[in-house]
Amino acid sequence: MSGADWLERWRQGRIGFHLQAPHPALEGFWGRLELRAGAKVLVPLCGKSQDMRWLVERGNPVLGIELSPLAIEQFVAEEPCSAGKRRTALRYRQSGFECTRLGRIELWCGDFFHFQVEQAAELAGFYDRAALIALPPATRQRYAHHLAQLLLPGTRGLLITLTHDDPCRGPPFSVTHAEVEALMAPNFELVLCDVATAADGLVESVWQLTRRGPVRQAHSNRSRDEHP
């Protein structure tokens, strides 16, 4: 599925992946990461996920990256009112991305693979729900590598994957535990936190990942220079 296909899906409103409430695994397992308050979280391929609002309410600012401008517009339009008022979104352009800031949520509109390590300096956590599994097999290797090179050693995150009985069908693509390990283990320590069967027969797995490598002056530009 190409970027153009995703844009078309958003245009047609074919967004069955979107959840109206925060993902239960986020609520259940995020605390295990023990991220410091204020640690900024990267949400690749973020759609208009409610999980981003949940993360901010938990004290973690968010940087979401999403290809579709429509997804971002909808996220802004669906911002809940507080005391009868809606916050105003700030718009700006940075490093080739059209950016929207809504409180402590920054949404960068563009291709995740164009997001560069220099722009990722402040990231201290990440959250992938339906990002890896949205990508076809050949792109998943590229995604795993790109994600790893954006993150400093010691950075922790959650990854939620799915398996189903047809390896050719997707998205969502079935990504087996063996594939998750093959893709991620070279750069991340992995802990499988949970495996649960959803109502539609899909099996969802929740992983805790920690970026491997020597943690030296973590989250400073200097340590990024030493990043493997």
Ligand X SMILES: C[S@@+](CC[C@H](N)C(=O)[O-])C[C@H]1O[C@@H](n2cnc3c(N)ncnc32)[C@H](O)[C@@H]1O
> Does 99 sit near ligand X (CB under 6 A)?
no
CB of 26 to ligand X, least distance (A): 10
One-letter identity of residue 213? G
Distances 35 to 70, 211, 220 between C-alpha atoms, Å:
31, 14, 16
> Does 112 sit near ligand X (CB under 6 A)?
yes
Which region among 99-107, 109-117, 145-153, 199-207 touches ligand X (by CB under 6 A)?
109-117
Q: Contacting ligand X (CB under 6 A), which of 40, 53, 129, 219?
A: 129
The residue at minimum Cβ distance from ligand X is: 47
The alpha carbons of the chain give a radius of gyration, in whole angstroms, of 17
Q: Contacting ligand X (CB under 6 A), which of 41, 49, 152, 183?
A: 49
Question: Considering beta carbons, is residue 33 or 67 the nearer one to ligand X?
Answer: 67
In sequence order, the 6+-apart residues with CB closer than 8 A to the CB of 102 are: 75, 76, 79, 87, 89, 90
The Cα 135–Cα 204 span in angstroms is: 16
> Does 46 sit near ligand X (CB under 6 A)?
yes
Name which of 209, 208, 205, 207 is nearest 188 in CA terms. Answer: 209
CB of 224 to ligand X, least distance (A): 22
Binding-site residue ranges for S-adenosyl-L-methionine: 10, 45, 66, 129
Question: Considering beta carbons, is residue 78 or 226 the nearer one to ligand X?
Answer: 78
Q: Contacting ligand X (CB under 6 A), which of 47, 61, 125, 157?
A: 47
Q: Contacting ligand X (CB under 6 A), which of 28, 103, 153, 171?
A: 171
> Does 45 sit near ligand X (CB under 6 A)?
yes
Question: Considering beta carbons, is residue 111 or 226 the nearer one to ligand X?
Answer: 111
In sequence order, the 6+-apart residues with CB closer than 8 A to the CB of 132 are: 140, 143, 144, 159, 161, 175, 180, 183
Name which of 92, 10, 11, 41 is nearest 209 in CA terms. Answer: 41
Q: Contacting ligand X (CB under 6 A), which of 33, 35, 71, 120?
A: 71
Residues contributing to the site for ligand X (CB under 6 A): 3, 6, 17-18, 45-47, 49, 65-68, 71, 111-113, 129-131, 134, 171
